[in-house]
Amino acid sequence: MNSLVKSFGFALNGFLVALIEQRNLRIHLTISTLVLAVAYLLEINFLEFSILLLCMCLVISLELVNSAIEELVDLVSPEKKALAGKVKDISAAAVLAAAVIASLVGIIIFGSYIF
């Protein structure tokens, strides 16, 4: 049981470090908070709310993975290398793809309540 509690502590610490150091994570969390507020105000249904939560979780999770990849690349390749840049760009593209799709899902869901 102790190791389970410790692993949750490590995960929480990792999240807090990312929250402090990663501007984009703070942006995603701010937007997620706004999305939740709009969802509450529009009184969207349970299924639509669940879909929004899944989209937000995907974007935030990918942002955390992207941050970890960038830190790892910086650790193993402190000097600028084309391959290191490519790895960072690809991991950032994963976040961008998820954010674009999450935005489209939000537009579809909220649009049905607004228009």
Residue 38 has pLDDT above 90, yes or no: yes
pLDDT in tens, 2-31: 899 999 999 999 999 999 999 999 999 999
For this structure, is 79 an active site residue? no
- Measuring CA to CA, which residue among 88, 107, 86, 100 is closest to residue 28? 100
What's this model's pTM, rounded to 2 decimal places?
A: 0.92
Give residue-wise pLDDT tens across range 44-82: 999 999 999 999 999 999 999 999 999 999 999 999 999
Q: Residue 115 — very low, low, confident or very high, per pLDDT cuts 50/70/90?
A: confident
What are the residue ranges spanned by the domains of the chain? 2-114
The C-alpha torsion from 8 through 11 and 13 to 17, rounded to 10°, is -170
Q: Which of 21, 43, 63, 79 is catalytic?
A: 63
For residue 34, name the pLDDT band (cuts at 50, 70, 90). Answer: very high
pLDDT band at 114 (very low <50, low <70, confident <90, very high): confident
CB 38 within 8 A of CB 109: no
pLDDT-derived band at 96, boundaries 50, 70, 90: very high
| Number of helical H runs and strand E runs in the chain | 4, 0
Cα R_g (the chain), whole angstroms: 17
* Cα separations in angstroms, 48 against 30, 38, 41, 53, 113: 20, 12, 14, 9, 11
Task: Report which residue type is found at 47.
Answer: L
What local confidence, expressed as pLDDT, does residue 82 receive?
A: 94
2-114 is a CATH 1.10.287.3610 domain: yes
